[in-house]
Structure 1
Amino acid sequence: MRLDLFQTAGRFMGAISLVFATGFANAEPKHGISMYGEPALPHDFVSLPYVNANAPKGGKIVLGEGGSFDSLNPHIAKSRVPWMLRFYAYESLMARSWDEPFTLYGLLAESVETSEERDWVQFTLRPEARFADGSPVTVEDVIWSYETLGTAGVGHPRYLGAWSKVEKAEAIDERTVRFTFKEPDRELALIMGMRPILKKAQWDGKEFNQGGFDIIPITTAPYQVGDFEPGKYVSLVRNPDYWGKDLPVNKGRANLDEIRMEFYLDGSVMFEAFKAGILTSFRETNAAKWEENYDFPAITSGKFVKSEIAHQRPTGITGFVMNTRRDQFKDWRVREALITLFNFEAINDTVSGGTLPRITSYFDNSPLGMKDGPAEGKVAELLEPYADDLLPGTIEGYTLPVSDGSLANRKNVRTALGLFKEAGWEIKDGKMQNAAGEPFQFEIVINAGDKSNERIGNLYVEALQPLGIDATLSRVDSAELKERTQIYDFDMAYYRRGLSLSPGNEQYNYWGSEGVEAPGSRNWMGMDVPAAEAMIDAMLNAPSQDDFVAAVRALDRILTSGRYVIPFSYSNIARIAHDSRLKYPEHVPIYGDWIMYQPDVWWMEE
């Protein structure tokens, strides 16, 4: 099933323009809240637009997951936890609509209220909201959950930044909780609606930040943890007595009786399990394999089918990131040279048959992506105060180098050698070295089980050898990779950073200067660019849709021209092979196959 992306994107931008024009929510209880203006769905909506409200209940899906797990509490940093638990086994006060850039509708909360300045937000709980043990959800549970998750050393670091901006949390009455912010924050009012709610009484006298399997959190969600074997599999079972099954925001969702996750340390073994029917759905990320490897009996017989699901999300950035904390990567000309020597056209042809486009910017494939050529209009105005400090290409326009597709890549090699020379590096005695005679060498670290990136890395390393560049590819296990990247102990590494249609405060964690030294940030490249933080500020405080988009496009230019990552390819479709009885709605949300899509809105037809 394919979408007309250009037509849909046009409708999306037109709709968001109307949203921006309506202004902020007034200080009165409402059924939903948007980053700008009013939610697209009215207070009496029947269901989300991308679900089958009449989908049958029942059936089972079995999914393959890479790696292992040693805990079932996804809200602490110490453990490896099945990713799906965080989203499918817990609920928050509000629920996202994945057909809008950033809009929330009431879930545990029946209403939300905020000031025009958005310096506070309050939520009123539904009286019928219940935990799985039948006990009611209280304001006390909400405040305890937020305080616990927001405490350093207790909750996961992902919650700390937002909580640090909250001045106080207080009960207004027995069903209403208010969060007052230290300063107005347009996005924070929404973020406060998205935290998981836990049962306070379950943790009395217990340490919340301990992993393991002794305590499985009691939640309010439609799915509860069922059977599991540590490191091997875990099953989520639909609660037939789930309190919120008739809410409009839940109609057509949580249709399957069981979601089972099987864990594999080897991707090829996982694929064989799918071919054998042990798994009933499999996401294929390799376009060449999608065309070549899906002719096994389950497909040819029609028992399994192949589905392609389009999306309008930003590409984000995927590739080999250069750690500018290392001396050899500090000069942008060196980074440009290394990007130039990455023969994307030849590698893409080898790895995927040349079928996939290359990522050209961080917000590529979306209405938020930078435009070709020089910066114009509001984008140029935002960048102008920082012009003297921005790298070449930021304002005048930057495009990735393109090879002729041949393995020799002669033109790009000549260009790269010129850049190296300008930066003080030349080939002497067969080795790339600087004036002090120090060799240019670096290590690329990847996950040991990632065969695709191993292949790409080997092709890249081979291409660098004739230039006297001593590059090595190191395959490390997931635990070592996580440890090293958390403290930035690497030269170059495989890097993947997803971006949304509603970028917000998380951008500081991705590109902010604090992450240059503070461990655990997403700023693996170590960038310290005041202009980038200024664009994030402009984005978060944009008074209109045009200003918001301009700020994101300006940020996109700074990131792309920074030459921090050697970009790989991307796909604007998700490729899912699955049991033919598993179905999904005809209308696909703008986010496509995203976090709450499969299996959330899928169903099984017997």
Structure 2
Amino acid sequence: MTNSLRWPVLQAGILSLCFLTGLATAAPKHAVTLYDEKPKYAANFSHFEYVNPDAPKGGVLRQAGFGSFDSLNPFINKGVAADDIGLIYDTLATSSLDEPFTIYGLLAEKIEKGPNNQWVRFHLRPEARFHDGEPVTAEDVVFTFETLISQGAPHYRGYYADVEKVVAETPRRVRFDFKHSGNRELPLILGQLPILPKHWWAERDFSATSMEPPLGSGPYRVDRVQAGRSIRYARVEDYWGKDLAVNRGFYNFDQLVIDYYRDNTVALQAFKAGHFDYWLETSAKNWATAYDIEAVRSGRIIRDEIANHNPQGMQGFIFNIRRERLQDVRVREAIALLFDFEWTNRQLFNGAYTRTRSYFDNSELASSGLPDKQELALLEPLRNQIPAALFEKPFELPQSTGDGVIREQQRKAYKLLTDAGWKIQDDRMVDNLGKPVKLEFLLVQAEFERVLLPYKRNLADLGIELEIRRVDVSQYINRLRSRDYDMIVSGFGQSSSPGNEQREYWHSASADNPGSRNFIGLKDPAIDTLVEKLIAADSREELITRTRALDRLLLWGHYVVPNWHIKSWRVAYWNHLAHPTTTPRNDIGLMTWWHKPDTAAPAKPDEGSLKSEAADAAPVEAEHQE
């Protein structure tokens, strides 16, 4: 063979080898993990460990919703969607509830990833059907993605920002190509995409709120709607996916009924009276004192504490730094110092809670002490953009004796405020522009006022007026979307594998997006850098290091007044319900519960005794927001 012929042949051999290597990397699999580790469940698994595969089907699960609803379209930034509407849809894949982040095929029987995560391909199951019998096709996947990007809530554009295009290669094969390689989480996130029927939406306006029951492919369908008051879902008897391993032991109730109540006080009384079956308790005071009733003593109502192994995330009083007077970090730190957690926990919560000290508390992702060598490698290049104290001392929250006297915290807060140019004038605090300081705390739920009133008094001691503005839930949502607040109470939930959702919380790109959860209004280049590095982490070790570094920046920015958490779910339920002996590590797993065939539900009391009180729904605060 001459040299002139050898090179093209050799080149062709190299290309063939690369092609075969690529195929090996992208071989279709039943499950995909974040770092290509082996999934917990093999391809031939029969069911997840945390279900009862032989759970009986039947009965009704009655739950409480809060506020109201005026839409059955959960994908747009208009109206308030009904609770649990997502159960009518299937996703391309489903996450297991006892692994950090692994997806198993649902609508897709196989999933394959390109080399270095350049793309992901989903192979749809031939038996997958919408409720009208039409097959779920690759065109439906393309339609769903493009519709959500163009007409859906704004956060979809941020969440899927790295997707270059989606292509229907065949009727049952669809591929997503990415703008950049190396994003390990994006293939898994796309697996969570709920698929909409293109043919059903062809004659409807996707961008409009509607109470017409939508068409889906999931285990339930909308059965009855009482606008703003109640919704009932019925289990789909001929559900195409009922025999899949990922669904075995799930969706055991014939009907799911959600009646809406105006507040937790009314709802709890309704639960104890037998109006509904299951209650997730978020009030420590109620858990300690509100269940001394005959139904609990006789065992007809069961109280249970289920261990919660999730990172606790950050619930707190959130500052809107779009407001000029809240842009100074010294002001935010001072205001945060005046919250007396120890007194609040002792007097209001029966000592049930732990102070939250990290945005990723209760996990290995939480920062502590001083940055280690690996974190410093990330933080040193940003030294000129981040607080110097981050390198010098551990972040600490104030701690009082719990007796209601916080003079040391008040002295420190006063110094910070005077350093920021604020001063006392005529017994009132005025800002650096000479304007009296009045902060509005936007609130939707009455139960939280008892927590804020002592905080209001502490602020008043320094001449700061805190106005607690409780509005109805429709106003709350509108003001939240328009960012019309000084402070709110809310949370940033976290998983064991944080990723692309961090852009929605902290990144500059989401700050002006009314549908994002960037409630703070963050536009910080250093935080942006760490968010992108976190998303691009190439191993679990890198993810932990980068998350801890991001956690430090967020803590030292004093963007929230950290609240509290508890490491269990407190649930109460009537004894005609049962759940598996093994509960999932990362969820309550309510859809794995069932109705005992030999146990009757309590007779529903007279409807006049406790009414479902309608209002426009909104995110609801509680002592511990789950």
TM-score normalised by structure 2 residue count: 0.89
> In the alignment, what sits opposite 2:145?
146
Please tell me whether residue 550 in structure 1 is matched to residue 548 in structure 2. Answer: no
Q: CA deviation at 1:475?
A: 0.5
What amino acid is the match of 1:27? Answer: A
What amino acid is the match of 1:303? Answer: R
- Deviating more after overlay: 199-208 vs 278-287: 199-208
**Cα deviation 1:238-293 (Å, max 9, x = unaligned):** 11111111111111111111111110112211111101101111111011210110
> In the alignment, what sits opposite 2:65?
65
C-alpha separation in 1, matches of 2:424 and 2:152:
51
What amino acid is the match of 1:335? Answer: R
Q: CA, structure 1 residues 126+362, in 2 after alignment: closer, same or farther (shift >3 Å)? A: same
Please tell me whether residue 90 in structure 1 is matched to residue 89 in structure 2. Answer: yes
> In the alignment, what sits opposite 2:263?
266
User: Which of 390, 393, 405 does residue 394 from structure 1 map onto?
Assistant: 390
C-alpha separation in 2, matches of 1:386 and 1:27:
37
C-alpha separation in 1, matches of 2:44 and 2:98:
17
> In the alignment, what sits opposite 2:530?
535
C-alpha separation in 2, matches of 1:135 and 1:242:
12
Q: CA deviation at 1:435?
A: 5.4
> In the alignment, what sits opposite 1:457?
452
Contact 2:446 2:470 in 1 (8 A): no
Q: SS of the counterpart of 2:225?
A: strand
Contact 2:317 2:490 in 1 (8 A): yes
Please tell me whether residue 491 in structure 1 is matched to residue 482 in structure 2. Answer: no
**Cα deviation 1:150-199 (Å, max 9, x = unaligned):** 21xx2233322244432222222231111111222222211221111122
**Cα deviation 1:201-226 (Å, max 9, x = unaligned):** 1122221222122x322111111111
C-alpha separation in 2, matches of 1:472 and 1:63:
34
> In the alignment, what sits opposite 1:295?
292
> In the alignment, what sits opposite 1:110?
109
1:463-474 correspondence to structure 2 within 5 Å: 463-474=458-469
Q: SS of the counterpart of 1:473?
A: strand
> In the alignment, what sits opposite 1:601?
592
Contact 1:392 1:561 in 2 (8 A): no
Q: SS of the counterpart of 1:549?
A: helix
1:425-574 correspondence to structure 2 within 5 Å: 425-434=422-431, 436-447=433-444, 450-574=445-569
Q: SS of the counterpart of 2:429?
A: strand
User: Which of 335, 348, 352 does residue 349 from structure 2 map onto?
Assistant: 352
Contact 1:444 1:493 in 2 (8 A): yes
C-alpha separation in 2, matches of 1:206 and 1:592:
35
Q: SS of the counterpart of 2:522?
A: coil
Q: CA deviation at 1:551?
A: 0.4
**Cα deviation 1:119-152 (Å, max 9, x = unaligned):** 111111111111112222122222112221221x
Q: CA, structure 1 residues 435+566, in 2 after alignment: closer, same or farther (shift >3 Å)? A: closer
> In the alignment, what sits opposite 1:21?
none
What amino acid is the match of 2:208? Answer: Q
Contact 2:155 2:516 in 1 (8 A): no
- Deviating more after overlay: 513-522 vs 36-45: 513-522
C-alpha separation in 2, matches of 1:305 and 1:155:
41
Contact 1:427 1:468 in 2 (8 A): yes
**Cα deviation 1:6-52 (Å, max 9, x = unaligned):** xxxxxxxxxxxxxxxxxx99211100111111322111111112111
Contact 2:159 2:504 in 1 (8 A): no
Q: CA deviation at 1:116?
A: 2.2
User: Which of 233, 239, 243 does residue 242 from structure 1 map onto?
Assistant: 239
C-alpha separation in 2, matches of 1:25 and 1:99:
28
Q: How many residues align?
A: 573
- Deviating more after overlay: 56-65 vs 583-592: 583-592
What amino acid is the match of 2:479? Answer: R
User: Which of 170, 186, 189 does residue 188 from structure 1 map onto?
Assistant: 186
Contact 2:154 2:516 in 1 (8 A): no
Q: CA deviation at 1:421?
A: 1.9
Contact 1:25 1:116 in 2 (8 A): no
Please tell me whether residue 379 in structure 1 is matched to residue 358 in structure 2. Answer: no
Please tell me whether residue 204 in structure 1 is matched to residue 195 in structure 2. Answer: no
> In the alignment, what sits opposite 1:27?
26
What amino acid is the match of 1:536? Answer: V
User: Which of 568, 575, 579 does residue 574 from structure 2 map onto?
Assistant: 579
Q: CA, structure 1 residues 326+391, in 2 after alignment: closer, same or farther (shift >3 Å)? A: same
Q: CA, structure 1 residues 392+286, in 2 after alignment: closer, same or farther (shift >3 Å)? A: farther
Structure 1: any 5+ residue segments left out of the alignment? 1-23
Q: SS of the counterpart of 1:335?
A: helix
C-alpha separation in 2, matches of 1:592 and 1:512:
27
Q: CA deviation at 1:359?
A: 0.8
Q: CA, structure 1 residues 434+29, in 2 after alignment: closer, same or farther (shift >3 Å)? A: closer
C-alpha separation in 2, matches of 1:314 and 1:234:
32
Q: SS of the counterpart of 2:390?
A: coil
User: Which of 220, 245, 267 does residue 223 from structure 1 map onto?
Assistant: 220
**Cα deviation 1:389-446 (Å, max 9, x = unaligned):** 2125433320111112122211211121122122222223311124553222211111
**Percentage identity across paired residues of the two chains:** 40
Contact 1:162 1:188 in 2 (8 A): no
> In the alignment, what sits opposite 2:7?
none
C-alpha separation in 2, matches of 1:239 and 1:463:
55
C-alpha separation in 2, matches of 1:44 and 1:194:
22
Q: SS of the counterpart of 2:382?
A: helix
Q: CA, structure 1 residues 377+583, in 2 after alignment: closer, same or farther (shift >3 Å)? A: farther
> In the alignment, what sits opposite 2:50?
50
- Deviating more after overlay: 464-473 vs 426-435: 426-435
C-alpha separation in 1, matches of 2:313 and 2:415:
30
C-alpha separation in 2, matches of 1:238 and 1:171:
31
Contact 1:234 1:260 in 2 (8 A): yes
Contact 1:25 1:114 in 2 (8 A): no
Contact 1:224 1:236 in 2 (8 A): yes
Contact 2:96 2:103 in 1 (8 A): yes
Please tell me whether residue 123 in structure 1 is matched to residue 119 in structure 2. Answer: no
Q: SS of the counterpart of 2:46?
A: coil
Q: SS of the counterpart of 1:150?
A: helix
Q: CA deviation at 1:586?
A: 2.3
Contact 2:158 2:509 in 1 (8 A): no
User: Which of 228, 232, 236 does residue 229 from structure 2 map onto?
Assistant: 232
What amino acid is the match of 1:106? Answer: G
C-alpha separation in 1, matches of 2:82 and 2:177:
33
Contact 2:32 2:102 in 1 (8 A): yes
C-alpha separation in 2, matches of 1:50 and 1:97:
10
What amino acid is the match of 1:561? Answer: W
C-alpha separation in 2, matches of 1:462 and 1:142:
54
Q: SS of the counterpart of 2:435?
A: coil
C-alpha separation in 2, matches of 1:414 and 1:197:
56
User: What CA RMSD, in Å, does the superposition of the two structures yield over aligned residues?
Assistant: 1.8
Q: CA deviation at 1:62?
A: 0.5
Please tell me whether residue 411 in structure 1 is matched to residue 415 in structure 2. Answer: no
Q: CA deviation at 1:602?
A: 0.8
What amino acid is the match of 1:604? Answer: H
Q: CA, structure 1 residues 186+602, in 2 after alignment: closer, same or farther (shift >3 Å)? A: same
Contact 2:288 2:350 in 1 (8 A): no
**Cα deviation 1:358-389 (Å, max 9, x = unaligned):** 11111001121112x11112122211111222
Q: SS of the counterpart of 1:202?
A: helix
TM-score normalised by structure 1 residue count: 0.91
C-alpha separation in 1, matches of 2:560 and 2:162:
31
Structure 1 or 2, whichever has the larger Rg, is 2
> In the alignment, what sits opposite 1:283?
280
**Cα deviation 1:550-577 (Å, max 9, x = unaligned):** 0011111111111111111111111110
